[in-house]
Amino acid sequence: MDVVVTGIGLHCALGSLLTSWQRLLAGESGLRSHQPFPELSPRLLGLIDKEPVQLSSLTQQVVASALQDAGLVTPLPDCGVVMGSSRSCQGLWEQLALKMSREGQGEIGLEYWLDTLLHQASVTAACQVGTTGPVLAPMAACSTGIWAIAQGYELIQTGQCQRVIVGAIEAPITRLTLTAFSQMGVLAKTGYYPFDKHREGLIPGEGGAVLVLESAELALSRGAPIYGQVLGFSMTCDAEHATSPSQNRYSATRAVKQCLERSHLCPSDIDYIHAHGSGTPINDKNEAELIQYLFPHGVPVSGSKGATGHTLGACAAIGAAFCLMSLKEQQLPPSVGLKEPECDLDWITSPRQGLIRRVLCFSFGFGGQNAVVAFGHPSLNRLENRLQVGRLKVEG
């Protein structure tokens, strides 16, 4: 059963979906110096507004955008929901801890606690959509977004749903997140330079992306525009270190190969790779060498974190949204912040027009979480034929 994308919602430091896409193509960055917490020094961050956003409100905003883009009206009782987040309501927990510490409160209200559970993003989305179908809440560090897409894809493939809202939302600008990354020595100071010889580390950003997945039959029956088709995915784990990727790249390599095999593709079929590009020394080196090894013929590569910031659990969902925009617009976005590449790859440093039919989105997270998803243009082979036949039947 073919699974297609009929709607996208996105909000990040660059703006909404179309604004973000236009600014990304223009090589703009949404990163600015902020001091959201008076006890911490100002630093570069990818804030959506002047103050850190709350998870539930951001979830509602992104889901509403995706539903509107797909031409859907709630309630959608049979719709599945797969919404992930790696930090969830951490910011609210920290605010509560500070309040308890300052006011000497020893306990919290049950109602407040129930509104800050780890799966709050999926609960919020499910209530907003009005579904009584499956509701899942994956959590896999930076790979969370692809996990959500994969689980939604399987819900449709197995016949449990005909439509699933998938994605990841992150509100990671909190005291603990900034302090922890600072202690690890991975925060950039002057700018975000993924894959660059002078890269300094990552810059946290908030945001999220939601995709509306539907069976091709359902999308066709309601005449929905299609961004692209989910061709396949793979997820593996290094099971080696809490933060650093495996130096032998075995599991990461296996993830890419499995994704290609399940998508019935070979490396030469790929027209673009949206790289993870965390901006940290080891991760970027590992990823670039992985691409060199698996795609020796050369393939255009770029990443978007230099423009959006590292949105942690939401970064792969945002990357997937940009991949789908590339398929729709037949344009490849540049790697903002990349000036002097360390590795010799076909880096995209300015917008590039071309025939784009199949793309990959990479994500490599803490704990050795490796995830890859492949998307195809809706005019591809079997799907194109089915859509043409369906149109003739509808018109007849």
* Residue 392 included in any domain: no
Per-residue model confidence (pLDDT) at position 387:
53
Per-residue model confidence (pLDDT) at position 159:
96
Which residues belong to the active site? 142, 276, 310
* Residue 24 included in any domain: yes
In the chain, which stretches have pLDDT less than 70?
A: 103-113, 381-396
Measured from the Cβ of residue 241, the count of other Cβ atoms closer than 10 Å reads 12
* Residue 136 included in any domain: yes
User: 37-75 b/e with 16+ CB inside 10 Å = b?
Assistant: eeeeeebbbbbbeeebbbbbebbbbbbebbbebbebeee
* Residue 394 included in any domain: no
* Residue 396 included in any domain: no
Residue range(s) defining the domain that contains residue 228? 3-386
Give the total number of structural domains in the chain.
1
Percent of the chain with pLDDT over 90: 83
Per-residue model confidence (pLDDT) at position 322:
98
Q: Kindly report the CATH number assigned to the domain that includes residue 193.
A: 3.40.47.10
Measured from the Cβ of residue 368, the count of other Cβ atoms closer than 10 Å reads 21
Categorise residue 337: left if φ over 0, alpha if ψ from -120 to 50, beta otherwise.
Answer: left
